[in-house]
Amino acid sequence: MKIHGLQKMTLLDFPGRVACTVFFGGCDMRCPYCHNAELLDGTAPAVMDDTELLAFLKKRQGLLDGVCFTGGEPLLQKDLPEFAAKVRDLGYPVKLDTNGNHPDRLEKMIREGLVQYVAMDIKNSPERYAETAGLRQMDLAPIRESVSLLMEGKTDYEFRTTVVAELHDDESFEQIGQWIKGAKRYYLQRFTDRDTVPFQGLHSPEKEQMEHWAEIVRPYVPAVELRGVE
Ligand code: SF4
């Protein structure tokens, strides 16, 4: 299994834990604001393989208490369940970042106790979903299925939206609120521009705008918070 990046320690990625973050290549979306665009087609050079990563985790036992899987879309890795089981056997809880497009694989990870926290993207309202995911069209049924699966509460989870001034508006958050009504927690993450994002010319919303959009969601999901906003 190819590992395309390793952040050896993070206090931010796995709530309440000192974790490392493992980056996998390949994604079936093409969000114009993606921060990991170099990983999307799966051709970026690997920095290590799974054996080397497991050796790293063994050395860090007692120093780290969590492992985050991100990408790209980690659920595209067909060996992810076997790999997650080995990580679990070393005593590490796993957090999974996902775009929600693979509910069957997500369900297997949850059912087999291979993931303890899931952070799933809600890209936008159904009407603007494909545009926000950088696709000409898309079937939202898998996304809806993943939302329903997480809301069953069999594992801890959050929903989150990367918020971009050009892609989101009041209606986005009204629709998202209705869609995930009753969810455990929801984060609005402010987009930050970088030279490497696939589409240049996108902007971060102002703080006041982010707060306004959070207020739109709060009647549906009381635990709404902002990220990336001072
Ligand atoms: S789903 Fe995530 S990794 Fe894939 S293109 Fe969008 S932001 Fe990037």
Which pLDDT tens digit goes with each residue over 130-146? 999 999 999 999 999 99
| Omega before residue 72 within 30° of 0, cis | yes
Q: How far is the CA of 61 from the centre of ligand 1 (A)?
A: 30
Q: Is the CB of 167 under 6 A from ligand 1?
A: no
pLDDT at res. 43: 87
Q: Which of 68, 98, 99, 196 to mutate to test the pocket of ligand 1 (most atoms within 8 A of CB)?
A: 99
Q: How far is the CA of 72 from the centre of ligand 1 (A)?
A: 6
SS3 state at 119? strand
Q: Which CATH number do you get for residue 23?
A: 3.20.20.70
Q: What is each CA distance from 143 to 124, 149, 186, in whole angstroms? A: 11, 10, 16
Retrieve residue 144's tokens: 């809806």
The domain in which residue 74 lies consists of 2-227
Closest ligand 1 atom number to CA of residue 72: 3
Taking Cα atoms as reference points, which of 152, 156, 153 lies closest to residue 17? Answer: 156
Q: Is the CB of 70 under 6 A from ligand 1?
A: no
Model confidence band, residue 60 (pLDDT cutoffs 50, 70, 90) = very high
Q: pLDDT per residue over 165-192, tens digit each?
A: 999 999 999 999 999 999 999 999 999 9
pLDDT at res. 116: 98
Q: How far is the CA of 33 from the centre of ligand 1 (A)?
A: 8
Percent of the chain with pLDDT over 70: 100
Retrieve residue 9's tokens: 């320690």
Taking Cα atoms as reference points, which of 9, 1, 117 lies closest to residue 56? Answer: 9
pLDDT(42) > 90: no
Domain count, the chain: 1
Q: Is the CB of 175 under 6 A from ligand 1?
A: no
Q: How far is the CA of 34 from the centre of ligand 1 (A)?
A: 5
